[in-house]
């Protein structure tokens, strides 16, 4: 809310640098500021923030407008009047934060750079030093193709793929999953903020929050059979993921309702929205229904009719996993 | 896959020059090996190196720029910039590519008994190579760090087919072995290397799970001189839960290899409580005898806790002996016990006069008495390829 309205990327980086000098990274994890939403009986909130004018008169998302949209969403999620207070409810000064983006789809359908910049700004205002923020995905080249600039220095917001950091040597296992986890997740951050994209997925039905964690392990190709079920749910049970996952901000500025997860311009639409929640299951359930509504609008079959309904969402909410709520009756959707 | 009991340094390690030389020396110090292995170049970190890219041979182009892989029974449908289950084949703009041609992540000189092939050129050594990747995900895999990884996650060296053939010759290896991970998934490289080897007078052998489509099996393994198949169980349920594959296509592959006249041996890794019942051993032996014949060597090998099955104990030797006794009783002629150094069931006995005709200690064939493919005591023909 207090940012100048026309911050350029250069200014953003300059400000990132300016805040880099004194805080030390790697502090112990603070107590969660937001209650976990996985216990049975808890209602989950999903904020859907929209701005139909998000692109102004141009084709790309406007940096200031998306920052304002992010602020609205975070304030609604946390019931705070100021953006900085909203972030301080999520993040504690001194924490190290990983922003897991999704860049598989190149510039066409990846997490928006302007959105990530806005998140980084707000994190710094909330007391996170620039070098304690890592924007990451599986592969540096994919990050670059999506418009991110690789930055490995210790004083700026860092941005690189697991190809630069490597995977842990030891396996982490739960249920059907046994994987080596990205060292970015295990060694560079104690808080995980998930920044997926709202996408159709030819095998899994949809790929939003939970499935975005496929980009955190060395062997995602092994977990696509059976519509990724129960693999997605099992993967999100790995302690490296579950204990660090704090918030999901789904980029639905541009979304894809058919032919995903790759970029298919003919099936993309400007949803001009962000979905924000501390419950990734509820967020996935909500995002799935947005895709279904768009498919219906376009005269397409439901995912269930195509035998690819995302059954992993139900698994993630079951008594074994309890990663969140998928029952619409227990999800409060707040439109702002 | 649990294809071979790995006791050497380097199998699961990056093939840097030091480790390559270390294992080459370990395996071949007495064989007069030189430093020729150093010709291999260090692989770059990028996954996009054009040297390793070749268009895949077994796939179909389908709707919306996707492809359907026809290499193995999974028939992965792969969208643009995505990979199949194996992790080493990628759709780029509607064309499917292998990312692992000439991209060798493990290379060793091994005794052929280590594959194990007991009836194929005993006492010889095989120039053994692998790339990253596998089309199944066995929970007991001993080489999981290469088989369950994508190629860019595993350091590798550029070794084009002709250089592999040259190195095999230089190290006096009559065979090139495709092994360690799962050669199905580097079929194009295997085929080209086998051709280069044959042109140089070097044979090819493959250690595989046999989980392939029949057309790709015929074309790729048609170039092989001998095949070892890991038949991981005789139960579809086990294949589904423990292997993430299917039994039926593997059985089909064994029958096809038999029809093709390929020398084939079978390994059955025995896991306590999971595939060690009398009934399963009996069904297995009966199927082999009925469909492949009594002369196919069958190796019951000992499991060691690995990967995702560290909670199981080592297979008791008594279990392996029980399996062998059942298979013997069903009439199989050559049933071995593997991964138990010094066990008498590592030796070959004439099925007629019962005398020992090949003595093995560990991976070393100590004494080979077979002459002209016959038992020296009773002249019973002994199936196999015994001499170069």
A261–chain B Cβ distance below 8 A for any pair: yes
Separation between Cα atoms, residue A149 and residue A140, nearest integer Å: 9
Query: Which of these, B319, B324, B320, lies nearest to B297 by C-alpha position?
Result: B324
pLDDT category of residue A60 using cuts at 50, 70 and 90: confident
- Chain B nearest C-alpha distance from A48 (Å): 30
pLDDT for residue A282 is more than 50: yes
pLDDT score for A298: 97
Count up the domains in chain B and report the number: 1
pLDDT for residue A16 is more than 80: no
pLDDT score for B7: 28
**C-alpha atoms less than 13 angstroms from C-alpha of A8 in its C-beta half-sphere:** 3
Q: B44-58, B181-195, B219-233: which range is least confident on average?
A: B44-58
User: Taking a C-beta distance cutoff of 8 angstroms, is the pair A126, A87 a contact?
Assistant: yes
Residue A149 in domain: yes
Q: How many CB pairs under 8 A join A and B?
A: 53
What H or E segment, with its residue span, contains residue B259? helix B247-260
Residue of chain A with shortest Cα separation from B134: A222
| Percentage, residues of chain B above pLDDT 70 | 88
pLDDT for residue A23 is more than 70: no
Report the 10 Å Cβ neighbour count for B305: 15
Instruction: Answer yes or no: do A221 and B137 touch at CB < 8 A.
Output: no
Instruction: Answer yes or no: do A221 and B83 touch at CB < 8 A.
Output: yes
pLDDT score for B231: 98
Instruction: Answer yes or no: do A222 and B244 touch at CB < 8 A.
Output: yes
A271–chain B Cβ distance below 8 A for any pair: no
Q: Is the dihedral of CA B140, B231, B87, A203 positive or negative?
A: negative
The shortest CB-CB distance from B87 to any of A163, A221, A264 is to A221
User: Taking a C-beta distance cutoff of 8 angstroms, is the pair B201, B229 a contact?
Assistant: no
Beta bridge mates, B208: B229
- Chain A nearest C-alpha distance from B150 (Å): 7
- B161 SS3 class: helix
Residue A144 in domain: yes
Q: Which residues of B touch A (CB under 8 A)?
A: 45-48, 64, 66, 74, 77, 79-87, 137, 139, 148-150, 152-153, 244, 307-308
Beta bridge mates, B228: B207, B265
Report the 10 Å Cβ neighbour count for A246: 21
Residue A9 in domain: no
Tens digit of each residue's pLDDT (9 = 90 or more) over A288-298 = 999 999 999 99
User: Taking a C-beta distance cutoff of 8 angstroms, is the pair A145, A182 a contact?
Assistant: no
Residue B87 in domain: no
- Chain B nearest C-alpha distance from A94 (Å): 32
Composition of chain A by helix, strand, coil, percent to 5? 35, 20, 40
Residues 6+ apart with CB under 8 A from A296: A302
pLDDT for residue B237 is more than 50: yes
What's the Rg (C-alpha) of chain B? 20
Tens digit of each residue's pLDDT (9 = 90 or more) over B169-210 = 999 999 999 999 999 999 999 999 999 999 999 999 999 999
User: Taking a C-beta distance cutoff of 8 angstroms, is the pair B302, B314 a contact?
Assistant: yes
Tell me the residue range of the domain where B204 lies.
Answer: 17-29+102-368
- Chain B nearest C-alpha distance from A221 (Å): 5
- Chain B nearest C-alpha distance from A183 (Å): 13
- Chain B nearest C-alpha distance from A162 (Å): 10
User: Taking a C-beta distance cutoff of 8 angstroms, is the pair B128, B110 a contact?
Assistant: yes
Instruction: Answer yes or no: do A218 and B153 touch at CB < 8 A.
Output: yes
Residues 6+ apart with CB under 8 A from A200: A206, A207, A256, A257, A258, A259, A260, A261, A267, A291, A303
Count up the domains in chain A and report the number: 1
Residue B41 in domain: no
A81-to-A15, A48, B208 alpha-carbon distances in Å: 24, 17, 63
pLDDT category of residue B48 using cuts at 50, 70 and 90: low
Kindly list the residues from chain A whose CB atom is less than 8 angstroms away from the CB atom of residue B244.
222, 225
Residue of chain B with shortest Cα separation from A177: B308
Separation between Cα atoms, residue B1 and residue B207, nearest integer Å: 10
pLDDT score for A6: 42
Separation between Cα atoms, residue B147 and residue A218, nearest integer Å: 12
Instruction: Answer yes or no: do B81 and A218 touch at CB < 8 A.
Output: no
**C-alpha atoms less than 13 angstroms from C-alpha of A156 in its C-beta half-sphere:** 16
pLDDT category of residue B35 using cuts at 50, 70 and 90: very low
Residue B230 in domain: yes
DSSP secondary structure of B321-370: HHHHHHHHHTT-S-EEEES-TT-GGGSEE-TTT--EEEEEETTEEEEE--
Instruction: Answer yes or no: do B244 and A264 touch at CB < 8 A.
Output: no
Instruction: Answer yes or no: do A221 and B86 touch at CB < 8 A.
Output: yes
Separation between Cα atoms, residue B265 and residue B119, nearest integer Å: 8
| Eight-state DSSP code of residue B31 | G
Q: At what angle do helices A9-18 and A113-125 cross, to 10 degrees?
A: 30
A167–chain B Cβ distance below 8 A for any pair: yes
Report the 10 Å Cβ neighbour count for A305: 10
In whole numbers, what is the pLDDT of chain B averaged over residues?
89
Separation between Cα atoms, residue B20 and residue B128, nearest integer Å: 12
Separation between Cα atoms, residue B81 and residue B149, nearest integer Å: 17
Mutate to test the interface with A, among B105, B148, B309 (most CBs of A within 10 A): B148
Residue B240 in domain: yes
Residue A239 in domain: yes
Instruction: Answer yes or no: do B82 and A167 touch at CB < 8 A.
Output: no
The shortest CB-CB distance from B64 to any of A106, A218, A259 is to A259
Specify burial of residue B273 (Cβ count, 10 A radius: 0-12, 13-18, 19+).
Answer: exposed
Residue A121 in domain: yes
The widest CA-to-CA distance across chain A, in whole angstroms, is: 56
pLDDT category of residue B297 using cuts at 50, 70 and 90: very high
Residue A31 in domain: no
- Chain A nearest C-alpha distance from B294 (Å): 37
CATH number at residue B264: 3.20.20.70
Residue A20 in domain: no
pLDDT score for A41: 63
In whole numbers, what is the pLDDT of chain A averaged over residues?
89
Tens digit of each residue's pLDDT (9 = 90 or more) over B323-365 = 999 999 999 999 999 999 999 999 999 999 999 999 999 889 9
Instruction: Answer yes or no: do A104 and B84 touch at CB < 8 A.
Output: no
Residues 6+ apart with CB under 8 A from B92: B80, B81
Mutate to test the interface with B, among A109, A219, A266 (most CBs of B within 10 A): A219
Q: What mean pLDDT is predicted for residues A91-105?
A: 96
Instruction: Answer yes or no: do B46 and A141 touch at CB < 8 A.
Output: yes
Kindly list the residues from chain B whose CB atom is less than 8 angstroms away from the CB atom of residue A224.
85
User: Taking a C-beta distance cutoff of 8 angstroms, is the pair A185, A242 a contact?
Assistant: no
Kindly list the residues from chain B whose CB atom is less than 8 angstroms away from the CB atom of residue A106.
81
Kindly list the residues from chain B whose CB atom is less than 8 angstroms away from the CB atom of residue A261.
79, 82
Q: Are strands B125-130 and B175-178 parallel, antiparallel or unpaired?
A: parallel
The widest CA-to-CA distance across chain B, in whole angstroms, is: 66
The shortest CB-CB distance from B87 to any of A141, A171, A219 is to A219
A224–chain B Cβ distance below 8 A for any pair: yes
pLDDT score for B81: 85
Instruction: Answer yes or no: do A171 and B307 touch at CB < 8 A.
Output: yes
| Eight-state DSSP code of residue B217 | I
CATH number at residue A49: 3.40.50.11440
Residue A150 in domain: yes
Query: Which of these, A48, A41, A84, lies nearest to A290 by C-alpha position?
Result: A48
| Percentage, residues of chain B above pLDDT 90 | 83
Residue B329 in domain: yes
A226–chain B Cβ distance below 8 A for any pair: no
- Chain A nearest C-alpha distance from B143 (Å): 13
Residue of chain B with shortest Cα separation from A225: B85
Residue B169 in domain: yes
- Chain B nearest C-alpha distance from A116 (Å): 23
Separation between Cα atoms, residue B130 and residue B1, nearest integer Å: 12
B174-to-A170, B109, B167, B170, B177 alpha-carbon distances in Å: 37, 11, 11, 10, 10
pLDDT for residue B272 is more than 90: yes
Q: What mean pLDDT is predicted for residues A104-112?
A: 93
Specify burial of residue B63 (Cβ count, 10 A radius: 0-12, 13-18, 19+).
Answer: exposed
Instruction: Answer yes or no: do B85 and A171 touch at CB < 8 A.
Output: no
Tens digit of each residue's pLDDT (9 = 90 or more) over A191-203 = 999 999 999 999 9
Query: Which of these, B187, B180, B126, B188, lies nearest to B156 by C-alpha position?
Result: B180
Q: Where are the alpha helices (DSSP H) in chain A?
A: 9-18, 63-78, 83-90, 113-125, 140-145, 162-165, 183-187, 231-236, 239-242, 280-297, 312-317
Separation between Cα atoms, residue A229 and residue A310, nearest integer Å: 8
Instruction: Answer yes or no: do A224 and B85 touch at CB < 8 A.
Output: yes
Instruction: Answer yes or no: do B85 and A264 touch at CB < 8 A.
Output: no
Residue B345 in domain: yes
Q: What mean pLDDT is predicted for residues B5-34?
A: 34
Tens digit of each residue's pLDDT (9 = 90 or more) over A286-325 = 999 999 999 999 999 999 999 999 999 999 999 999 999 9
Residue B90 in domain: no
DSSP secondary structure of A193-240: EEE-EEEEETTTEEESSGGGGGGGBS-GGGG-GGGGTTHHHHHHTSHH
Separation between Cα atoms, residue B380 and residue A296, nearest integer Å: 74
Instruction: Answer yes or no: do A139 and B308 touch at CB < 8 A.
Output: no
Tens digit of each residue's pLDDT (9 = 90 or more) over B363-376 = 899 899 999 999 99
For B361-387, b/e burial (b = at least 16 CB within 10 A) is eebebeeeebeeeebeeeebebbbebe
Tell me the residue range of the domain where A267 lies.
Answer: 42-335
């Amino acid at each position: 809310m207090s940012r100048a309205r026309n911050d350029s990327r250069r200014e953003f980086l300059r400000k990132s640098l300016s805040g880099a000098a004194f805080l030390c990274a790697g502090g112990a994890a603070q107590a969660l500021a937001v209650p976990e939403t996985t216990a049975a009986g808890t209602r989950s909130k999903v904020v859907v923030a929209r701005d139909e004018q998000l692109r102004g008169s141009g084709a790309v998302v406007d940096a200031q407008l998306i920052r304002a949209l992010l602020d609205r969403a975070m304030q609604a999620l946390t019931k705070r009047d100021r953006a900085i207070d909203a972030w301080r409810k999520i993040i504690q000064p001194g924490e190290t934060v990983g922003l897991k983006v999704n860049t598989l789809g190149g510039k066409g359908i990846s997490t928006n750079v302007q959105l990530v910049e806005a998140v980084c700004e707000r994190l710094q205002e909330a007391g996170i030093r620039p070098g304690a923020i890592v924007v990451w995905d599986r592969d540096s080249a994919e990050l670059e193709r999506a418009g991110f600039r690789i930055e490995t220095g210790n004083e700026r917001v860092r941005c690189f793929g697991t190809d630069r950091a490597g995977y842990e040597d030891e396996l982490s296992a739960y249920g059907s999953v046994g994987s080596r986890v990205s060292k970015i997740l295990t060694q560079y951050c104690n808080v995980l903020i998930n920044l997926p994209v709202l996408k159709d997925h030819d095998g899994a039905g949809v790929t939003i929050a939970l499935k975005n964690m496929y980009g955190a392990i060395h062997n995602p190709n092994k977990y696509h059979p059976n519509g990724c079920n129960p693999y997605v749910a099992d993967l999100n049970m790995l302690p490296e993921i579950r204990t660090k996952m704090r918030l999901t901000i789904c980029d639905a500025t541009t979304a894809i309702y058919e032919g995903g997860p790759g970029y298919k311009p003919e099936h993309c639409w400007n949803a001009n929205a962000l979905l924000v929640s501390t419950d990734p299951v509820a967020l996935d359930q909500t995002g799935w229904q947005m895709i279904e509504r768009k498919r219906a609008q376009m005269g397409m079959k439901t995912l269930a009719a195509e035998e690819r309904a995302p059954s992993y969402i139900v698994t993630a909410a079951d008594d074994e996993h309890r990663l969140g709520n998928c029952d619409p009756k227990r999800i409060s959707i707040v439109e702002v | 896959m649990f294809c071979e009991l790995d006791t050497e340094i380097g199998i699961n390690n990056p093939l840097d020059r030091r480790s390559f030389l270390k294992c080459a020396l370990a395996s071949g110090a007495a064989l007069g090996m030189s430093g020729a292995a150093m010709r291999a170049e260090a692989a770059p970190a990028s996954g996009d190196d054009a040297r390793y890219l070749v268009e895949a041979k077994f796939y179909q182009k389908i709707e919306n720029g996707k492809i359907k892989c026809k290499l193995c029974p999974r028939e992965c449908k792969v969208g643009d910039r995505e990979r199949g289950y194996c992790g080493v084949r990628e759709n780029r703009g509607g064309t499917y590519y292998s990312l692992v041609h000439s991209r060798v992540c493990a290379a060793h000189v091994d005794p052929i008994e280590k594959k194990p092939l007991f009836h194929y050129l005993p006492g010889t050594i095989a120039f053994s190579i692998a790339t990253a990747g596998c089309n199944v995900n066995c929970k007991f895999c001993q080489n999981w760090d290469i088989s369950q990884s994508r190629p860019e996650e595993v350091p590798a060296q550029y070794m084009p087919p002709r250089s592999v053939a040259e190195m095999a010759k230089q190290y006096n290896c009559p065979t090139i072995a495709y092994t360690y991970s799962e050669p199905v998934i580097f079929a194009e490289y295997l085929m080209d290397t086998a051709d280069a080897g044959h042109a140089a007078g070097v044979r090819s052998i493959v250690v595989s799970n046999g989980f392939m489509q029949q057309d790709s099996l015929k074309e790729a393994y048609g170039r092989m001189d001998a095949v070892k198949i890991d038949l991981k169980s005789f139960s579809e349920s086990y294949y589904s839960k423990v292997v993430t594959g299917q039994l039926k296509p593997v059985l089909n592959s064994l029958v096809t290899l038999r029809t093709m006249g390929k020398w084939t041996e079978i390994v059955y890794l025995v896991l306590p409580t999971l595939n060690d019942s009398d009934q399963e051993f009996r069904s297995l032996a009966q199927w082999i005898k009925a469909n492949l014949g009594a002369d196919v060597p069958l190796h019951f090998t000992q499991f060691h806790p690995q990967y995702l099955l560290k909670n199981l104990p080592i297979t008791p030797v008594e279990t392996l002996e029980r399996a062998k006794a059942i298979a013997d009783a069903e009439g199989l002629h050559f049933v071995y016990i593997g991964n138990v150094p010094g066990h008498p069931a590592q030796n070959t006995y004439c099925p007629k006069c019962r005398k020992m005709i090949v003595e093995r200690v560990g991976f070393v064939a100590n004494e080979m008495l077979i002459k002209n493919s016959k038992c020296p005591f009773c002249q019973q023909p002994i199936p196999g390829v015994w001499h170069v």
